[in-house]
Amino acid sequence: MGTVVTDRGRMDKEEQDDELMALTSIYDESVLSITQEDGENGGQFLASLQLPDPFYIHMDLNRNKEDNMSKKDSDLHMIKYLPEIVLNFQLPSDYPSCHSPHFTLSCKWLNRQELSSLCRKLDKIWHENEQNVILFMWFSFLSEETFDFLKLKSPLQLSNVISHRKEKSLAYDKRGIQDIASQDCLLPAILDFDKQAREQEFNRTIFCCKVCFNEKIGARCLNFSGCDHVYCKECMKDYFRIQIDDGNVKSLYCPEEKCESQAHPSQIKQLVSEEHFIKYDRLLLQSSLDMMADIMYCPRPSCQYPVLLEKESNMGTCPACFYVFCTLCKLVYHGLSPCRIRAEGLRKLRDEYLAADSATQEFLEKRYGKNTIHQALEETFSNEWLEQFSKCCPGCGCHIQKIDGCNKMTCMKCRTYFCWICMELLARNNPYRHFNTPGNDCFNKLFEGEEFDEDGLLFDDDDDDLNDAGIIFL
């Protein structure tokens, strides 16, 4: 009899070794791991379910019964992968001749009742195939039939996976382990697993870059979220660097025509140099601050620190250099007095005022004062007229308008003699030599531009100083 037992034990050991060898040739090490403890074979199998596409999970955000809110918020997420169902097994020495493998089932998103149903189903598979190796049948069932067996559907309800009620009437199988610390941890755990599984699948896949048209493995490619367009990292590295050098930090879109998906900052940081990413980060912050109505940069060129403006006030205080300024004119804060305007801004103010509607004109009058607005209108019109119809004396700089007479001019303020044509200073002892010297650009042009009567006489009301005259605008 002892010889029979020994032979049976040896046969069980051989069948176990053959089964495990066959399983390791079928499943990858990331799915099946084999161990041996106290002379017995064991291991762990990770059963990944094939989910329908699309597949959603649903979680109620307000689950506390003591919450007085009558309306419950909900959260719906589309996923591609659920965390695996983990089967830990230990093969007794008399398996498969006498006893089935010892096992536990653990899962994050199945409740204890569903886990108990799976445990009973594995027991049933053993009893239907007693004295035969059944690990492959268990693995196949968990991976391929669990979804239909438990009648799961999309959206998968996760609100009550962990029940805090004491239901004595329900006998749960102790081999089914609910592997999550609390209900609040469930949704983040599933979403994180789905993200990592998607990345692993992407890294193993071969893609054709839409820029260089070379095929590369996903680990060497970049995927734009939202559109799933894929490009190799080398092409995107050059693309990001050029855009950052040009200051287009808000234009790092997918290169696909008309696609508006943007690169994530973490993707940019992964590809560009540290120097380029610092520049990108700085320009991105600056462009974001520029779009905020309550943020203004310190007017001091040496500071330029962002300043948070006070509501209903035109006073700003820089926290870096403590410069107190008017947010309208950017000059030192002047209280209730109208804003002063720089001379070079008068023309711009005039154009803005004349092109504005009544509401904008009222705002500008309130901002700068009506007198300042009128001054801008008068001075800019005067300056434009002077630029068009007058010239500046080369001696004192006063504006002079030539009314009539010859081109030898006398400034009525500083009494400087000059040529109206070329604005050259003339000698006081003989100012007309300039017009009588051959080879001079103004030779014989003393009376150029003047009108004469029928007798060849110059029209003139005053013969003094050979008809040179002018008006000075002081």
Q: Which residues are catalytic?
A: 406
3-state secondary structure of 47: strand
d(CA 305, CA 17): 72
3-state secondary structure of 240: helix
Polymer length of the chain: 474
Q: Is the distance from CB of 329 to CB of 339 less than 8 angstroms?
A: yes
Q: Is the distance from CB of 471 to CB of 404 less than 8 angstroms?
A: no
d(CA 452, CA 254): 75
Whole-Å CA distances, 100 to 12, 37, 115, 207: 12, 17, 18, 46
Q: How many CA atoms does the CB half-sphere of 84 hold within 13 Å?
A: 15
Angle at 444 (CA atoms; ends 443, 449), nearest 5 degrees: 115
Q: Give the DSSP H or E segment for 190.
A: helix 186-204
Tokens coding 386: 């002077």
Helix 370-389 with 358-368: angle, nearest 10 deg: 100
DSSP codes of every residue in 170-188: ----TTEEE--S-GGGHHH
Radius of gyration of the chain (CA): 45
Strand pairing of 324-326 and 55-60? unpaired
d(CA 210, CA 221): 11
Q: Is 349 exposed, middle or buried (0-12, 13-18, 19+ CB in 10 A)?
A: buried
Amino acid at 233: K
Q: Is the distance from CB of 426 to CB of 434 less than 8 angstroms?
A: yes
Query: Distance of alpha carbon 176 from its chain centroid, rounded?
Result: 45
Q: Around Cβ 350, how many Cβ atoms within 10 Å?
A: 19
Query: Which residues does 361 contact at the CB level (< 8 Å), separation at least 6?
Result: 353
Strand partners, 34: 43
Taking the CA atoms of residue 145, residue 148, residue 154 and residue 156 in that order, the dihedral angle to the nearest 10 degrees is -80
Amino acid at 108: K
d(CA 90, CA 33): 12
